[in-house]
Every structure is written in C-alpha cells, then in structure tokens.
Amino acid sequence: MIDLAKLQKDLATDNAKLPPIEQWNPAFCGNIDMEIKHNGSWYYMGTPIARPALVKLFANVLKRENEDYFLVTPVEKVGIKVVDSPFLVTQWQQQDDNLIFTSNVDDSFVVGPENPIKLMQDKTNAELLPYALVRRNLWARLHQNVFYQLTQLGQEQLINDEAHLTISSGGHSFSLGKCV
C-alpha cells in the first residue's frame, strides 16, 4: 500500500513542483477502492475523503494511461476509478488577454495551446462538454457555473461550417460548444 506519510514528506519539500511521475514505472499492485465522482469529490471505500490536503496529495500522483487512472509512487502503482474526469474547473479569471483557470484541487493554469479547451463526451450523459487540459493528460470538466460565466465572453465563430460559441485566451480561440 502507498506510504502516505513518506509521500507527503517527499512532496512537502517543494509544494510548487509536481513529482516526476512520468519517470516512475513501478509494477502494478492492483486496484484500490478509490473513486473520483462526477462532481470532483474523492471517495475511499465508499466514504468521502474530507481532508483537502489529502485529496491534493493524491491528485499530485495521479497518472492516466489510455483510459485508466493510477496513483503512482516510485515503487507502487494502484488503479483507481474516475467516473468522468479527475478534476473540475471551479474558478476563472481574466488577466490581460489570458484566461486563468483553477481546478478543485487548486491547480492554476493559463488556457492556451499547452492547456487547451476541448469538446469531449461526458461519460455520464454522452453530451459534448468543454474540458480543459490541466496537466499530464489529465483533464478538468468546466463546472456549470464557470461555463455559464464564460458564455458571457463568447463570440460566435464558424468551425467546420458550424456555428460555435468561442472564447479566446492568449490569441487562441476555443469552442465552448455549438450554437443552437
């Protein structure tokens, strides 16, 4: 099982720096009963994880391979279930011509080519919804409140001969969805 105390100590040495999980390829140790729900809440053995610091700790060692999600350390890799996406964009701000998103686990990033917004299918209801790339192939669905606020900034733009509501950040346009 993952040694939480050691992992937390290792990560505490530099909170701003994420661990190099791309370099870690430990043996798969099996699945654990951990799930990230559609609303972004984390559960262990059916019980919500109430400590935000613990959720952030797990989020820092979350890895996606194809459609599977794992918590990894240099010596262990365990599978977890993610209902839709592991994160939610819960806040945003505009700074000059950039949009800055913040996730439910306090990851902040500038929307742009490295962190684009992309329309993807929501796994729970098969709708096309906007998601933003947070980091390392990990996406965040835009919270409904954030989505509605961003629509106020939107401009109609043709994409593949279809009208889309788009927003811009750093000189790049991103679709929030098709216009009805």
Sketch out the chain's domains with CATH numbers.
Answer: 4-82 (3.10.540.10), 87-178 (2.30.270.10)
Q: Which residue has the higher pLDDT, 4 or 141?
A: 141
Ranges 43-47, 57-61, 159-163: which has the least confidence? 159-163
50-66 average pLDDT score: 95
pLDDT, residue 15, reads 44
Question: Average pLDDT, whole number, for the chain?
Answer: 90
pLDDT for position 10: 52
Per-residue confidence (pLDDT) for residue 94, from 0 to 100: 94
The answer, yes or no, to whether residue 3 has pLDDT greater than 90, is no
58 contacts 43 by C-beta, under 8 angstroms = no
How much is the pLDDT for 14?
A: 41
Structure-block tokens of residue 166: 């788009």
Q: Where do the H-state alpha helices sit in 39-143?
A: 52-60
pTM for this prediction = 0.85
Percent of the chain with pLDDT over 90: 78
Q: Whole-angstrom Cα distance, residue 53 to residue 8?
A: 9
Alpha-carbon distance values, 60 to 23, 29, 34, 39, 167 (Å): 14, 19, 15, 19, 29
> Does position 122 have pLDDT exceeding 90, yes or no?
no
Q: Which helix (H) or strand (E) holds 151?
A: helix 144-151
Q: Is the pLDDT of residue 2 over 60?
A: no
pLDDT recorded at residue 12:
46
pLDDT of residue 1: 54
